[in-house]
Amino acid sequence: MAMIRSPRTPFHQRIIIGVEIETYSINVSDHKIGRRLSRPRPGLSESGERFSRDASIGSEYNSRPFTTVRESLFLLKAGLRKYLRGLYRSREDDQDYRVPLFVGGWTNRFAGTHMHISVANRKLSKQEATALSWHIHDHLPFFIAIGANSPIWDKQVTGKASNRFLRGSGTYFTPVRRGELTSVDTRELVFSPGRKTKPGTLEIRVFDSNLPEYVVANLCLVKAVCLRWLRGKSATNRMSHADYLVARQEAASKGMKAKLPWKREWIPVKDYFDRFLWEHREEFDAMDIPEEIYEVLRLLKRGYNGSRLIHDAVALAKKEHPQTWQRRFAKRYRTGLSHLLSGNTLQDFSQELLAPFPSTERVWLGRKRGSIDE
């Protein structure tokens, strides 16, 4: 009898990433922003995903593990769309429900996006996770700048890109040295040994809560580093621990306007971005990246991350009417989120918020004559 062999896992599917997203909430009846629990209607969750209560912020969405970038964008938006209870038929006359607000901070609580990395077809050992963390560690300041999304703190517009990181780093994601990895869940990198129903993972805790497009763009960058490690290549960047600590603060304070060290040279984040993309061009080429995510990468190259979008939208609402700006912003955000989670784009979302949106017509990624999206 002929032996049936299982098909070999494509290279880019050998790194599996799941996400946890903590969220504030908007009450649909009065558009108040707070920490009340958001939940979809009973019975809507799929196998592998979970809608749960977070003790600090209120709501948390746990995705199923993603094997491809295209899958992650589709399933993440499909999963988060279930929070929009008004879209579903029901016998209940339920108008008092809440939709998520994906920001890292609003009052004085922290909302983050945590990524859990595992390897297909085998258990990720602590030794392997430590080797992988060696590759990821010195890119964390870059990830902080890219993923910043908390310009609001204590209901005030600030000049900082990630208030969540600046205020919570000493408690919830304390820095570690390169090659240092523990299972203490308040570090910026954490090894989770796993259990019967969950594989061992390396967790990254530095990202702010964010819209799904930005989460998936961040996931792409993380996956590129992981695939390079899987190929057995050397890490692309190195910095001293002293520079690393300074770079973390710089990234959280200034976001896409920061300067970060690339092999001892302090350069603007946009230049770091190009060098990162070029060094990982083989990995990006291996991944099946949809055009929507390349567009988000171009926006990031223009300096338009989640923090910039929220800051501009809030500043406009506050200028229009200082007394009711939060409810104005919340109402626009709720409408924009409904459009975004129904298959529309970040540009459609920003238009609902009345926020300015940059052109990406002449933006290249990596090198001008060898853009990775061509």
State percent of the chain over pLDDT 90.
83
Query: What would the mean pLDDT of 234-256 be, rounded to a whole number?
Result: 97
- Give the dihedral sign, CA 29/32/36/39: positive
State percent of the chain over pLDDT 70.
97
Name which residue leads in pLDDT, 307 or 94.
307
Question: What is the number of domains present in the chain?
Answer: 1
- Residue 348 falls within a domain, yes or no? yes
Query: What would the mean pLDDT of 237-250 be, rounded to a whole number?
Result: 97
- Residue 51 falls within a domain, yes or no? yes
Instruction: Report the range of poorest mean pLDDT among 22-26, 124-128, 350-354, 365-369.
Output: 365-369
* pLDDT tens-digit map of 11-32: 999 999 999 999 999 999 999 9
Instruction: Report the range of poorest mean pLDDT among 55-64, 243-252, 341-350.
Output: 55-64
Query: What would the mean pLDDT of 246-257 be, rounded to a whole number?
Result: 98
Query: Which pLDDT value is given to residue 8?
Result: 82
Instruction: Report the range of poorest mean pLDDT among 146-160, 189-203, 205-219.
Output: 189-203
pLDDT class for 45, splitting at 50, 70, 90? confident
Q: Which of 350, 346, 340 is nearest to 311 (CA)?
A: 350
Helix (H) or strand (E) holding 229: helix 212-231
Q: Is the pLDDT of residue 5 over 50?
A: no
Q: Is the pLDDT of residue 189 over 70?
A: yes
pLDDT class for 7, splitting at 50, 70, 90? low
Query: What would the mean pLDDT of 220-233 be, rounded to a whole number?
Result: 97
Greatest extent of the chain over all pairs of C-alpha atoms, in Å? 77
Query: What would the mean pLDDT of 156-165 be, rounded to a whole number?
Result: 97
- Residue 90 falls within a domain, yes or no? no
Query: Which pLDDT value is given to residue 3?
Result: 39
- Residue 321 falls within a domain, yes or no? yes
Q: Which of 355, 270, 354 is nearest to 309 (CA)?
A: 355
The CATH number covering residue 54 comes to: 3.30.590.20
- Residue 373 falls within a domain, yes or no? no
Query: Which pLDDT value is given to residue 4?
Result: 42
Strands 156-157 and 58-62, bridge-based pairing? unpaired
CA separation for the pair 327, 31 (Å, rounded): 5
- Residue 293 falls within a domain, yes or no? yes
- Judge whether 67 and 78 are in contact, CB under 8 Å: no
Query: What would the mean pLDDT of 123-140 be, rounded to a whole number?
Result: 96
> Which single residue is written with the structure tokens 């990181």?
165
Backbone Cα Rg of the chain: 20
Chain-centre distance for alpha carbon 188 = 14
Instruction: Report the range of poorest mean pLDDT among 88-97, 229-238, 254-263, 343-352.
Output: 88-97
- Residue 168 falls within a domain, yes or no? yes
- Residue 368 falls within a domain, yes or no? no
Q: Is the pLDDT of residue 92 over 80?
A: no
Query: What would the mean pLDDT of 54-83 be, rounded to a whole number?
Result: 93
Query: Which pLDDT value is given to residue 1?
Result: 37
What average pLDDT does the structure give for the chain?
A: 93
Query: What would the mean pLDDT of 68-90 be, rounded to a whole number?
Result: 91
Please give the residue range of the domain that contains residue 109: 13-85+96-352
